[in-house]
Amino acid sequence: MAEYQGLLTARPGQRWAVVVSRFNRRVTDRLLAGALDTLSRHGVRPEAVDVVWVPGSFEIPAAVRRLTERSYAAIITLGAIIRGETPHFDFIAGATTAALAELNRTAPMPVIFGILTTNTVEEAENRADGKMGNKGAEAAAAALEMADLLASLAGA
């Protein structure tokens, strides 16, 4: 029986993309810091990372689609969609999630979902270096593991 599992390591020559929303930047800046720190701690040099800023989470899939035309080990998406008083949250969260799921299914590299969908700003802050850890760091760890796994499977 063959068994495969990705490691939290970057391979030489790999490039990484992080697409991050400017909306709710108080939260997304912390998600980005966590992601970049995790990549760095696992051997990714800063010059191997492209950070792409978009206006909001809804715009993330368009940037990701374009980035899939380049050669990245993985694309990490970071955003914060926070519920408000209108149904806007449901439309943005649902459409963004569906678009990124499709891109992850069809892209030649992993597309990692690091977008918070929370009821309150406090919940978002707790997931961006608060009580619940840093989901940006977790997204970067998932990117490292999936990139390594997919590279291993390609050679299997």
Which residue ranges are tagged as binding site for 5-amino-6-(D-ribitylamino)uracil?
23, 57-59, 80-82, 113
Set 26, 66, 70, 88: catalytic member: 88
Residues 6+ apart with CB under 8 A from 144: 6, 7, 8, 9, 10, 38, 39, 42, 44, 74
Query: Binding site: what residues are annotated?
Result: 23, 57-59, 80-82, 85-86, 113, 127
Dihedral over Cα of 83, 140, 59, 110: its sign: negative
Q: Is 77 helix (H, G, I), strand (E, B) or coil?
A: strand
Distance between CA 116 and CA 24 in Å, rounded? 11
Whether 42 is catalytic:
no
Query: Binding site for (2S)-2-hydroxy-3-oxobutyl phosphate: what residues are annotated?
Result: 85-86, 127
Residues identified as active-site = 88
